[in-house]
């Protein structure tokens, strides 16, 4: 049996409820765009320090910080930046101009909101202040009316970062997805599962 291709893995993930982040992007751009962006991010991580094609230097600092607030490093895997999710996002936005306005406008909104509250841009505002702003925009359905633009941006941002992370080799490894693996024989359902269901093979 041949190894599952990245495209096949992405197709499977995009069809699962857990990977709702991949589905909107896959529906808009196609799985090929996700695969191409993922490969571009991999290449960017392997090469010299990355220079963004779409983001300004200030936006890039914010994107990288925000990405790691969305998917931080943990005991199981690296962070969004370790996986190349910001580079993935930069590729998508540089190749698909119709995706740009909401992200660039949202980053400006984030800085403006941080300036209004704390007198400084988001990246300089510090952990507790950053979390306070994000708490107000993390749940679009619960966001106050004045926070709705920020909530719409943050949902879109999370989708792109999650798609970049889960389509990367690090993200796929984090899933511990084994794909279709051959078995010499099928022993049936494990006995503990049969007991839990109250059924038997007899």
Confidence of residue 46 (pLDDT cuts 50, 70, 90): confident
Structure tokens belonging to residue 113: 């909101």
Total Cβ atoms within 10 A of residue 44: 20
pLDDT tens across 131-181, in order? 999 999 998 899 999 999 999 999 999 989 988 898 888 888 887 766 666
Total Cβ atoms within 10 A of residue 176: 7
CA pseudo-torsion sign 66, 98, 166, 57: negative
pLDDT at site 80: 94
């Amino acid at each position: 049996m041949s190894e599952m291709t990245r495209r096949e893995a992405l197709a499977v993930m995009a069809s699962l409820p857990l990977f709702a982040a991949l589905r909107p992007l896959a529906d808009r751009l196609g799985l090929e765009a996700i695969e191409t962006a993922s490969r571009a991010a991999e290449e960017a991580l392997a090469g010299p320090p990355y220079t963004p094609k779409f983001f300004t230097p200030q936006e890039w600092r914010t994107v990288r910080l925000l990405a790691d607030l969305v998917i931080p490093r943990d005991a199981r895997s690296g962070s969004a930046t370790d996986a190349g999710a910001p580079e993935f996002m930069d590729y998508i936005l540089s190749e698909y101009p119709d995706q740009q306005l909401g992200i660039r406008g949202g980053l400006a909104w984030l800085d403006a909101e941080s300036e209004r509250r704390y007198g400084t841009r988001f990246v300089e505002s510090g952990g507790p202040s950053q979390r306070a702003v994000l708490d107000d925009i993390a749940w679009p359905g619960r966001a106050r009316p004045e926070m709705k633009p920020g909530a719409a941006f943050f949902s879109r941002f999370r989708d792109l970062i999650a798609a970049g992370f889960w389509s990367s080799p690090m993200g796929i490894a984090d899933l511990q997805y084994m794909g279709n693996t051959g078995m010499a024989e099928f022993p049936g359902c494990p006995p503990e599962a049969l007991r839990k269901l109250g059924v038997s093979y007899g």
